[in-house]
Amino acid sequence: MQVFLQTLIGGLSLGAIYALVAMGFSLVYRTMGLVNFAHADVLMIGAYAASTFYMSTRLPFAVAMALAIALTGLIGLFIERVLRPLENKDFTLMLIGTIGFGMVLQAVAVLIWGATGHAVDNPVQAAPIELFGLRVRTYDLVVLLIAAVAVVLLVGFLQRTKRGAAMQAVAMDHEAATAVGIHVGRSNAIAFAIGAGLAALAGGLVGPLLYVNPTMGGAIGIKGFAAAMLGGCGNIPGAIVGGLAIGVLDSFAAGHFQGYSELVVFLVFTVIIMVRPLGLFGEMTVSRA
């Protein structure tokens, strides 16, 4: 029972990171109907930036994370601005453009930080917490807390601010939103910036858990994308549930199937998607093609 609970907590911590990635995917898809294939590499840049600010300049971890989020937010704005002329004109070229941006970001990472990668010191030096016989890593709880705060802030922004309401209006019908005076391009830019910020937050948090390297975005990004699809791409609550589900499944599969854990995770994911093609909380979006 203790092993089960410890595996569950570890899975939820990893799932919280996948949920952050999935929310970034879903936010852009919900607003623009576009899958941002550069999202995983933005996560990688965020992980490198946060670790560099934290370890090289000796800034507090929270400050390093904030700077990394700001940096990737600017990258998100830049990507959206370059793709904006293609909005409602060439959807396929927009998809190819996001893939191209991902390749450029990987090349930039190798140019700046090299191809070998590095480990990141755990920013939480507190000893594991013992609770009812369980030894829980303090950093796992920190990850869960930060992810929960990010979810609350995002939901609050979307539901309680005028800009968030405008973004939701664009998601429902961008032509009607334009007719009532909503600046669609600005809403898209904000979606890209927030999505990039969520990716950086996920990358910064996963740095102390994994090895930061130029290809790390691929492994985390594909599971974040799977989480978004599992929850229903474009559905923010679904992205959270999907991320936690993928994380817990990944954790238990690693404990029971070792080297075949990813195969098990994606087999289960494939079966669920075959039964529920739109995901657990399927979301329909307006076609931008």
Question: Alpha-carbon distance 29 to 171, whole Å?
Answer: 9
260 vs 218: which has the higher pLDDT: 218
State yes or no: pLDDT of 286 exceeds 90.
no
Are 105 and 45 in contact by the 8 Å Cβ rule? The answer is yes
Model confidence band, residue 30 (pLDDT cutoffs 50, 70, 90): confident
Least reliable range by pLDDT among 75-79, 86-90, 147-151, 248-252: 86-90
CA geometry: angle 146, 149, 151, nearest 5 deg: 110
Q: Kindly tell me if the per-residue pLDDT of 265 is higher than 70.
A: yes
Residue 171 has pLDDT above 80, yes or no: no
Greatest alpha-carbon pair distance for the chain in Å reads: 60
In this predicted structure, the answer to whether residue 112 has a pLDDT above a threshold of 90 is yes
Tens digits of per-residue pLDDT, 52-81? 999 988 899 999 999 999 999 999 999 999
Q: How many CB atoms lie within 10 A of CB 20?
A: 31
Give pLDDT tens digits for 226-254: 999 998 888 889 999 999 999 999 988 88
129 strand-pairing partners: 136
CB 46 within 8 A of CB 204: yes
Condensed to tens digits (0 to 9), the pLDDT of residues 175-224 reads 787 887 888 888 889 999 999 999 999 999 999 988 899 999 988 999 99
pLDDT band per the 50, 70, 90 thresholds, residue 1 = low
- Name the average pLDDT for the chain: 88
Residue 235: the pLDDT is 87
Q: What pLDDT does 143 receive?
A: 93
Distance CA 192, CA 198 (A): 10
- φ, ψ for residue 57 (rounded to 5)? -100, -5
Domain coordinates of the chain in residue numbers? Answer: 21-217
Secondary structure (3-state) at 115: coil
At 144, list the tokens. 């869960």
Give the type of residue at 114.
G
- pLDDT class of 135 with cuts at 50, 70, 90: confident
Percentage of residues in the chain having pLDDT higher than 90: 51
Range with the poorest average pLDDT among 26-30, 77-81, 210-214, 258-262: 258-262
Say whether pTM exceeds 0.85: yes
